[in-house]
């Protein structure tokens, strides 16, 4: 009888451990969804707006330095600066999301700096400075893609279905 009680006790302990692990996993998944659907979604419109304006003055859409200066100064930099400011205010609830969020902030700060350097380049009509800014922006975008990849990995880890926007 003592052996049976010991077995039952171990079985119950194992069950409690598995249950607690499942609850922890569920809690982390919930926090991840909350981070994406509330925190990131609340600020993402600013980022999209900044890049929409930026796309209107780059590549084949470029017209003049004066237009680029106006759009960078009045639309891109204020919107993206506000985005970065609000990103810094977000406080993720789990370590894994905090680590990824730090990557997003770092990449976004690099992009923000690149926009400012690009503004200076257009104000001075300095092609070299504009190229440096473009590289800075690419570097920041590459960093934010690390964040996206990490978020996708966590979604898979917690079996969370992602919806495309």
Please state which CATH class domain 27-157 belongs to.
Answer: mainly alpha
pLDDT attached to residue 24:
62
pLDDT tens track for 71-118: 999 999 999 999 999 999 999 999 999 999 999 999 999 999 999 999
In this predicted model, what pLDDT tens digit does every residue of 118-155 receive, in sequence order? 999 999 999 999 999 999 999 999 999 999 999 999 99
Q: Are residues 46 and 85 in contact, defined by beta-carbon separation less than 8 angstroms?
A: no
Residue that has been written with the tokens 């009509």 in this structure: 125
Long-range contacts of 87-96 (CB under 8 A, 24+ apart): 87/43, 90/35, 90/39, 90/40, 90/43, 92/31, 92/35, 92/39, 93/31, 93/34, 93/35, 94/28, 94/31, 94/32, 96/28, 96/154
Would you list the domain boundaries of the chain?
Answer: 27-157
- Contact indicator for 126, 103 with CB cutoff of 8 Å: no
8 Å CB contact between 50 and 76? yes
Mean pLDDT of 152-164: 86
Q: Please state, as a whole number, how many other Cβ atoms lie within 10 Å of the Cβ of residue 43.
A: 18
Give the percent of the chain with pLDDT over 90.
79
Give tens-digit pLDDT for 9-68: 444 433 334 334 445 678 989 999 999 999 999 999 999 999 999 999 999 999 999 999
Q: What is the dihedral of CA 35, 149, 110, 44, to 10 degrees?
A: -40
Residue 60 per-residue DSSP state: G
What pLDDT score does 26 carry? Answer: 84
The reported pLDDT for the residue numbered 140 is 99
* Predicted local confidence at residue 19, as pLDDT: 38
pLDDT at 155: 93
Q: How many CB atoms lie within 10 A of CB 49?
A: 17
Indicate the SS3 state at residue 37. helix
């Amino acid at each position: 009888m003592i052996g049976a009680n010991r077995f039952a006790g171990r079985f119950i302990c194992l069950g409690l451990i598995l249950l607690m692990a499942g609850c922890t996993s569920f809690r982390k998944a919930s926090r991840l969804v909350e981070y994406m659907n509330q925190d990131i979604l609340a600020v993402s419109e600013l980022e999209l707006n900044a890049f929409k304006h930026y796309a209107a003055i780059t590549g084949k859409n470029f017209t003049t330095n004066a237009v680029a200066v106006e759009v960078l100064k009045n639309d891109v930099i204020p919107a993206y600066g506000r985005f970065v400011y609000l990103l810094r205010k977000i406080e993720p609830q789990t370590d894994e999301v905090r680590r990824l969020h730090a990557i997003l902030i770092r990449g976004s700060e690099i992009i923000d700096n690149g926009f400012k350097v690009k503004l200076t380049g257009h104000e001075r009509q300095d092609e070299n400075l504009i190229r440096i800014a473009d590289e800075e922006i690419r570097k920041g975008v590459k960093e934010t893609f690390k964040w996206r990849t990490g978020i996708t990995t966590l979604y898979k880890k917690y079996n969370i279905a992602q919806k495309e926007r």
